[in-house]
Amino acid sequence: MSQPTSVPVSVIADTIVRTVELGVTITGAALDGDTTVVFCDLVDRGAQRCPGCGEAGVYRDTVERRVTDVPVAGHPLRLRVKVRRYRCMTASCERVVFSADSRRLARPAATTTRRCARCVLRRLVVDRTTVSAVARELGRSWDTADTIAMQAAQDLLAEAGPARLGGVRVIGVDEHRWAHTRHADGDGFVTVIVDLTPVVDRSGPARLLDLVAGRSAKAMTGWLAAQTPQFRDAVEVVAMDGFGGYKKDLSDGLCNKILLS
Ligand SMILES: [Zn+2]
């Protein structure tokens, strides 16, 4: 690790603009090989309250949270964020120490920012980038990139809840070669199942329904069998050739919205 040095102003400016949504302010930057390291503080939100009892805590110490963010100018970006920790002084509270709220930055215990996780998913599912290439972009391992993508998909589906299966009439199925060389579940293939109903109705973007290990025909058969009879009855079209006839609609800017809606 080199000492903080100057990096191109454009890179800093870009990063500064984007830090607003992460809830951090930049205190410094350094280059570590190919990786840009940005040092940050959490934006101060006043007295931090204990998640256990709701009382204000007393400052204890500061730790560093390290997360990977969306690459900047083609280089991996690592954030090192100072997070203050507090002691809970309520005798009856089970919580002894708690950290300042950094959930805007990343999920609890996650090693990538939320937007980075969504970006990884988009690169893999929409841009059809390989896991290896995404791992390189992030400066992380293959396994980490794979885990980030799967977790991001699960988060997205959990956020949408069971309602995501309502009103689905047209399904698009697209298989991706997730892994080229290494052994993986489903022979390295992942099947992406998308609800194209809003695209057909011209009411909105396609929505992710699920990611399933394995090749499309078998994965889709198994996935449909696991759904309710009512769901299967409502489905009128399953487009097995990727996003086939809907490609034009998808390329009209809808691709980027598939996973984020
Ligand atoms: Zn407490």
According to DSSP, residue 55 is labeled: P
- Least confident range from 9-13, 62-66, 149-153, 226-230: namely 9-13
Ligand 1 center from residue 61 Cα (angstroms): 17
62 CA → ligand 1 middle, Å: 18
Q: In whole angstroms, what is the distance from residue 237 CA to residue 197 CA?
A: 9
CA–centroid distance, 99 to ligand 1, in Å, is 12
pLDDT tens for each residue of 42-73 = 987 777 899 999 999 999 999 999 999 988 87
Helix, strand, or coil (residue 254): helix
Top pLDDT among 201 and 258 is at 201
236, 167: one domain:
yes
Q: What is the pLDDT of residue 251?
A: 37
Q: Count of domains in the chain? A: 2
Looking only at the bridges linking them, the beta strands covering 170-177 and 237-239 are: parallel
CA–centroid distance, 86 to ligand 1, in Å, is 10
pLDDT at 56: 93
126 in any annotated domain: no
Per the CB < 8 A criterion, the answer to whether 194 and 239 are in contact is no
Parent domain of 95: 9-105
SS3 of residue 67 by DSSP? strand
- Whole-number Å distance, alpha carbon 79 to ligand 1 midpoint, is 29
Quote the CA–CA distance of 63 and 48 in Å, as a whole number: 15
pTM of the model: 0.70
Tell me whether residue 2 is in a domain: no
pLDDT band at 100 (very low <50, low <70, confident <90, very high): very high
Give the pLDDT band (50/70/90) at residue 14.
Answer: low
Residues with CB under 5 A from ligand 1 (ion): 50, 52-53, 88, 90, 93, 95
Report yes or no on 54 lying in a domain: yes
| Residue 86 and residue 18 share a domain | yes
Maximum average pLDDT range among 2-6, 83-87, 101-105, 219-223: 83-87
Query: What is the C-alpha to C-alpha distance for residues 19 and 167, in angstroms, rounded to an integer?
Result: 37
Task: Find the largest Cα–Cα distance for the chain.
Answer: 64
User: 252: pLDDT confidence band, cut at 50, 70 and 90?
Assistant: very low
Joined tokens for residue 43: 């934006």
> Which of 182, 192, 184 is closest to 153 using CA atoms?
192
Q: Which of 105, 138, 169 is the last residue in one of the domains?
A: 105
Q: Check whether 117 has a pLDDT greater than 50.
A: yes
As a whole number, mean pLDDT of residues 130-150 equals 88
